[in-house]
Structure 1
Amino acid sequence: MILTQCPVCAAPLPHTSAKQCSRCKTRYCGPVCQKQHWEQGGHDKLCRKIRKGGGAEQYHANNKYAEAVTVAAEACAEDTKGQTCYICTQALHWKTKEGLVRGCACRGTAGFAHVSCLAEQAKILFAEAEENNLDYNTLGTRWKRWDTCSLCEQKYHGVVRCALGWDCWKTYRGRPERDEFRITAMRMLGSGLTCAGHDEDALPVKEAELAMLWRLGASLHETLVTQSNLANTYMKVGRLESALQIKRDVYSGRVKKDGEEHEYTLIAANNYSSSLNSLERFEEAKSLLRKTMPVARRVLGDNDENTLRLRWSYAKALYRDPTATLDDLHEAVETHEDLERIALRVFGGAHPATEMIQGSLRESRAALSTRSVCEAMAAMTPPGDA
């Protein structure tokens, strides 16, 4: 369940013992709140509508998806003006009348689509793979259409990713709790909320996912992925020590399970270094990154987003460290400049990763300029002068 709080008092809801409306399955912390919601909270008027909408969880997901599509289309309106959907070839969706979006690395006149069209494409491709009992790798490739553009092969970001996350969840949430792709749909939702900056909303989704995996006795891989995602959200809401502890455990778990050269281990190393940087433990971060960056460049390549993020984390550790030398600051600027060139070529200027690297580049240049001026002035000051 993604509805993890009582709609009346916002208390956390237990997984199995929560009081619920017998008609629409809306859950409450107890009978007092259920009665209050019916008599004073308007549930008496909404109950039938929620039931017709598939129950509380489905009704909630449908509404959130509709809101997210509207937000995404409005956010992309300037970029999509005068364009048509590359899937249905229309400007307005024939049924929903929604506007166009573009939230990937496509540029020029490529990549414009309706969220509904992108979602329908993903549903059809995945359903075909399941119906024809295609192999697991094919299932995974088809599933990628939920978060990855079929044209530029880069992940969607921002509010577009959020809208697709809600559609993915509302599509598969009715499957059995143990169904792998129901679990993955929940993860898609949490990731989408994070991409749109809704970290407080993403937190209970990711906590619910981890609790569910523990309850089901999920594989170590699934648990590590979910712990990592949860730790990233803890960071975003300011719970830095909690995030660091989880990320350290995840990195250690990945090294033992997958080895130091596996992509999952490299992702875990980047997440761990990010927490170290946030807590200003720069020497530990640099030590970890000096070990993992060459591995990522060899295994994943310089253009891979994970390689870029590892190098970016290292460059930030260099220039943010108060003990940084002038050589460290020069290296930070040079690394940022190389990362910017790669990001512009691979993702384009409007991609969040590119914008974050550019912002960090400006900060590193400012740090270098300030240090250079200070050292130049110190060199010009005669010995003994104040």
Structure 2
Amino acid sequence: MILTQCAVCATDLGLTLGKKCGRCSTRYCGPECQVQHWEQGGHDKLCKPIKKAGGAEQYNANKKYAEAVTVAAEKCADDTKGQTCYICTQALHWKTKEGLVRGCACRGTAGFAHVSCLAEEAKVLVAEVEENNLSGKVGNERWARWYACSLCEQRYHGVVKCALGWACWKTYLGRPEGNSSRRSAMTQLGNGLANAGHHEDELSVREAELAMERRLDAPEEDVFVTQSNLASTYRELGLIEKATDMLRNVYSGRVRLKGEEDQETIIAALNYASNLGQLRRFEEAKSLLRKIMPVARRILGETHEITLRTRKIYAQVLYNDPGATLDDLRETAATLEETGRIARRVFGDTHPLTVDIEGSLQTARAVLFAHITAPA
């Protein structure tokens, strides 16, 4: 989470409201809470360390980053045992003493690294773009180091992505609110929290990001991205109707802006269809998925992650529909078997998509078996 609430009573302050401590910028809803925090909440002892770290937001980000790195290294410990960082060539980081992680699709001895080394590499590459005024294409490629492996080019996932999200945010949070790197860092933090399942914390980031973009009159494309991310957060928190309404608006907006064959429009359609399935609006979901599946295959290719996700969601909608026929269920199992083979080949056995497809396949087989063996 980022600091959008009063440090004492948790009143929501967004990114701009409230009163700040004059020394360390800790935020409060008013002078009463500020006095209480100083006299009873321990702020008198923390104020100087927070100021030394660069202010309340920086202090919080540094702390959360350190915690996330520890969690990531512990989670990856079995996989990284006996390996060394491909960047610094050490097993333990020389300064932080942190362990190694690997959250991508690298195989064998490739892809092991310290989060600190990955973050430093990304920071240096982005700085070169800014200092030398390199092209937008180069900038996007360099920025990808904050979320994707430079070796296999697959996106990081889980606790590794969360740790890198905090690394990115703590690097750029001190910049002006409208700075592009700061705004992108907020997105990376939200994505990392989502990947690690910290959806309550993610919600505060997503809502703050959307409020900021509206206040800055950000491009419509940027707002669509943030709304899609926020809708996913709503969904994870059980707010399905709220999420679906937002995704419907994003999908229709992207069709208007970029057309039906744009990659982001395909993603928007997939997200909308997935929520329709959760709301048991199966016919609407199937109709939309049958429309976008051939488009995804043609535009993105058979092995693209989005294409595979589209086919997986379609199969899930089929087997969850009480009106599914025997042919529907056989199609479901065959679809998931094929997409599972592709996912294992492209992403590896432990990638979340591969694991998710395998789980869906087991469910589809169980539903098919129950249908076949049901009394006539």
TM bin (shorter chain): over 0.9
Paired letter, 1:327: D
Alignment partner, residue 275 of structure 1? 275
SS in 2 for 1:141: helix
1:1-12 map, 5 Å: 2-12=2-12
- C-alpha offsets along residues 81-132 of structure 1, whole Å, 9 cap, x if unaligned? 0000011110000111000000111122111000000011111111112211
Alignment partner, residue 384 of structure 1? none
SS in 2 for 1:313: helix
1:136 maps to 2:116: no
Alignment partner, residue 187 of structure 1? 187
How far apart are the structure 2 equivalents of 1:131 and 1:156? 27
Alignment partner, residue 323 of structure 1? 323
Alignment partner, residue 382 of structure 1? none
How far apart are the structure 2 equivalents of 1:14 and 1:121? 32
Paired letter, 1:191: N
Alignment partner, residue 63 of structure 2? 63
Alignment partner, residue 157 of structure 1? 157
Percent of residue pairs identical? 66
1:1-386 map, 5 Å: 2-374=2-374, 377-378=375-376
The answer to which of 104-113 and 298-307 deviates more is 104-113
Paired letter, 2:103: G
SS in 2 for 1:269: helix
SS in 2 for 1:250: helix
SS in 2 for 1:213: helix
Q: Displacement of 1:198 after TM fit?
A: 0.2
Paired letter, 1:359: G
SS in 2 for 1:107: coil
How far apart are the structure 1 equivalents of 2:232 and 2:324? 27
Change (3 A) 1:102 1:14: closer
The answer to which of 129-138 and 154-163 deviates more is 129-138
Change (3 A) 1:247 1:26: same
Q: Which runs of 5+ in 2 are unaligned?
A: none
Q: Displacement of 1:139 after TM fit?
A: 0.4
- C-alpha offsets along residues 152-200 of structure 1, whole Å, 9 cap, x if unaligned? 1110000000000001001011111111121110000000000000001
SS in 1 for 2:322: coil
Aligned length: 376
How far apart are the structure 2 equivalents of 1:19 and 1:125? 37
SS in 1 for 2:122: helix
- C-alpha offsets along residues 350-382 of structure 1, whole Å, 9 cap, x if unaligned? 1111101100000000000000111xx42xxxx
Cα pair 2:14 2:208 within 8 Å, conserved: no
Paired letter, 2:140: G
Paired letter, 1:199: H
Paired letter, 1:233: T
Q: Displacement of 1:143 after TM fit?
A: 0.3
RMSD, aligned CA: 0.9
How far apart are the structure 1 equivalents of 2:283 and 2:154? 33
How far apart are the structure 2 equivalents of 1:217 and 1:97? 43
Alignment partner, residue 383 of structure 1? none
Q: Displacement of 1:2 after TM fit?
A: 2.4
Paired letter, 1:76: C
How far apart are the structure 2 equivalents of 1:343 and 1:39? 57
- C-alpha offsets along residues 32-70 of structure 1, whole Å, 9 cap, x if unaligned? 111111111100000000000000001110110000000
* TM-score, structure 2 normalization: 0.99
The answer to which of 128-137 and 190-199 deviates more is 128-137
How far apart are the structure 1 equivalents of 2:269 and 2:302? 17
Q: Which runs of 5+ in 1 are unaligned?
A: 379-386
Moved over 4 A (4+): none
How far apart are the structure 2 equivalents of 1:316 and 1:169? 35
Paired letter, 2:197: G
Larger radius of gyration: 1
Cα pair 2:316 2:332 within 8 Å, conserved: yes
* TM-score, structure 1 normalization: 0.96
Q: Displacement of 1:14 after TM fit?
A: 4.4
How far apart are the structure 2 equivalents of 1:267 and 1:153? 20
Q: Displacement of 1:29 after TM fit?
A: 1.2
Paired letter, 2:21: C
Q: Displacement of 1:19 after TM fit?
A: 1.1
How far apart are the structure 2 equivalents of 1:39 and 1:290? 62
Q: Displacement of 1:13 after TM fit?
A: 1.1
Q: Displacement of 1:17 after TM fit?
A: 3.4
